[in-house]
Chain A
């Protein structure tokens, strides 16, 4: 500081900043951006996964095939259904959970720790656990619904019946990620000052009125973040579907369809076109998300 003053330090730091950024940038370019460029290139070629032969340029043929393929549209439709239903349920349940854990009661810490279990569990393990619970003969779900509660008259082959299969994977996703949504919303709730509620109570507002006029509006930023986060995750759903149903019985998602094309049918070119489609679909949401958050605070 003595010799050069703050100017030199700032300049030193600006130079050092890029040195510090370098490893991260190199790594992310190598495992993210470069493969992405490759994917875009491959999507215009006919080529097979693992084949030594050079890719053949075919123009937009893969995209044309994709758009005319019924399976593709089914996968898109399933992905949208999965996303809309699971994110809505996660939001409603997550909000209930967040409000619950926000109240003071004995054992609140325990409840919060319990909520982290589904989140920390590997999705694969969750999918297998539920797959067993959904088993048509030995499963506990059928026993509860048919035998114990009498809600259903006959046992259901949950993961092997169209409609029920989609409901099953949605249920597992909701179970696994509701805690995450709840924690995000809880963080938002904790930012709202308790005085607001006290003032409203003095004015004679009912609990419901307080919820609608204070909680919901002030929670909006947290709600938005949770919804976007979950939507982005749900749009690329793969693990839970692949493990529970292999994408059969009306559960094929955009990601499982892409994986099937790439790895099972070895169609690297066509699969890459699908990849590009997914990428742009998700990129749209990401741009919206980053715009909503507006990264920089210092201008």
Chain B
């Protein structure tokens, strides 16, 4: 669209672009900047826009914190476990909703779609009581199971849209060869849906990795606390000495894997995000 534009319009366009990019990236730049500051830089007024003597001290301090390192492990276990479980249960349900005709299918679709927007806060109290009664308080399993409330509905929804788009012929030829529907699912549909599984798996993993409310409510200490809870509760020794360098270092480490995923799978994630919201 850009040719035939006046130079003023082109300049305005790029100006806007630069502002938009700065607005988007600056806060993250600031976190990295802070995480590399020395103690003197941290206390500087006005703040320094580049670390005068970059130091890895904050990163070292964070990685020496048992609570933080174990939180990384807990987050990986919980997010990985929840994602895996959501993909297994979700791909089956999505196959039924996307490929099979059955009575009640429509209502199931309505149910799944409305549950993608289930407000977690509305059940956090009774879920807490259930978790305690089941002896799951402060365990990974409590989070793996409760995270399904958030990630399973959209996994089913996005995957069912994906299943719908697969060509019918391949499946039919399997039936002609005498395969059962279960075999057709396992040997034809599932391998074909690998890209869809990757997309929904990524979205589910990122959502679980970032979850805060349930992790805050159902865990107590380093045995199950996840990264967001630990980053939210980083406090200094005294009220007046908040360890901002370490908080930012922790935040950067917690975000690192996600940014990597986002850069590697940019297109996948965007298509998954939009097909989750726009009618597929």
- Residues on A close to B: CB < 8 A? 1, 9-10, 12-14, 16-18, 20-21, 23-25, 27-28, 30-32, 34-36, 38-39, 42, 49-50, 96-97, 100, 103-105, 109, 111-118, 120-130, 132-133, 135, 137-140, 143, 147, 175, 179-180, 183-184, 187-188, 221-222, 225-226, 229, 232, 235-236, 238-239, 242-243, 254-255, 258-259, 262-263, 268, 271-272, 275-276, 278-279, 282-283, 285-287, 289-290, 293, 295-297
Asked if B156 and A24 make an inter-chain contact with CB atoms under 8 angstroms apart, the answer reads: yes
Contact among B103, B121, B153 for A258, CB-based, below 8 A? B121
Asked if B125 and A290 make an inter-chain contact with CB atoms under 8 angstroms apart, the answer reads: no
Asked if B92 and A20 make an inter-chain contact with CB atoms under 8 angstroms apart, the answer reads: yes
B139 within 8 Å of A by Cβ? no
B42 within 8 Å of A by Cβ? yes
> Nearest A residue to B10 by beta-carbon distance?
A105
Asked if B279 and A42 make an inter-chain contact with CB atoms under 8 angstroms apart, the answer reads: no
Q: Nearest-CB distance from A160 to chain B (Å)?
A: 13
A128 to B88, CA, bound (A): 35
Question: Could you tell me how many residues of chain B have their Cβ less than 8 Å away from some Cβ of chain A?
Answer: 106
Asked if B123 and A122 make an inter-chain contact with CB atoms under 8 angstroms apart, the answer reads: no
A138 to B47, CA, bound (A): 6
Asked if A12 and B274 make an inter-chain contact with CB atoms under 8 angstroms apart, the answer reads: no
Asked if A38 and B277 make an inter-chain contact with CB atoms under 8 angstroms apart, the answer reads: no
Q: Which 5 A-B pairs have the closest CB atoms?
A: A38-B126, A24-B93, A20-B96, A122-B210, A279-B122
- Residues on B with C-beta less than 8 A from A188 are 278
Q: Can you name 27 A-B pairs with beta carbons within 8 Å?
A: A17-B102, A20-B100, A21-B108, A42-B125, A49-B125, A49-B128, A49-B129, A50-B128, A103-B1, A104-B1, A111-B21, A113-B266, A117-B28, A120-B261, A122-B212, A124-B210, A128-B234, A129-B251, A138-B42, A184-B274, A236-B119, A236-B120, A243-B212, A262-B124, A268-B125, A268-B126, A272-B125
Known contacts A42-B126, A262-B128; A122 and B100 CB within 8 A of each other: no
